Amino acid sequence: MLLEDLKRVRSDREGACPAVERLAQAQNVDRILSESPSIEELEDLLHGGQLSCNHVDEVWPNLFLGDMYMSHDRYGLWRLGITHVLNAAHGKMCCKGRDDFYGTTVKYYGVPANDLPTFDISSFFYPSAHYIHDAFSTTGVFVHCAVGVSRSAALVLAYLMIYCNYSLVDAILKVKERRWIFPNRGFLKQLISLNNELNYKVQSK
């Protein structure tokens, strides 16, 4: 996917993603595609493109990423067909969350993550990905934290990598088509480790 974007940049600079264009100019693309990207390269990629986000955005079919405001809007979630909620800021300030808030029509899963580079969110990558995947047997899934940019975004990226066979770079590009995200540096480092782990499994087959 990134390679296709770079070809598009070379043929038509107008409207190209600034981050992708910088990568092309640096002639660093082959290494990024074949090896593990650095945190700085991922941040360059995250800085470009769409710089705004709504209370909720559909970043993958039936997978919605948003903020705490939308998590309190039961009617809005019902209109979107949401049957499962994943709160990546469970127990934190305005995102405390609880099963009984949504009643019997919505299933709730809370991840008590702190938006700090030192927090180990990787321990929730697989459980959250399994929860999202299992939820698709019904209808929509809403993943949120306080702002819908760091904690929840990291879990959505992990899902795309684990279940949809996306690389970390491709997962970022996919989500950025619909929403601005920016996981903190610690989360990016843990996502890079997941990317390396999944690549190793593929190469070992």
Q: Could you list the active site residues?
A: 145
Find out whether 119 and 126 touch, Cβ atoms under 8 Å: no
Report the C-alpha dihedral over residues 18, 156, 69, 62, rounded to 10 degrees: 100
Both tokens assigned to 60: 């993958």
Q: Which residues contact 61 (CB under 8 A, 6 or more apart)?
A: none
**Alpha carbon distance 166, 172 (integer Å):** 9
Element (H or E) spanning 169, and its range? helix 168-176
Burial class (CB in 10 A: 0-12, 13-18, 19+), 22: middle
CB 84 within 8 A of CB 184: no
CB contact at 8 A, 62 and 141: yes
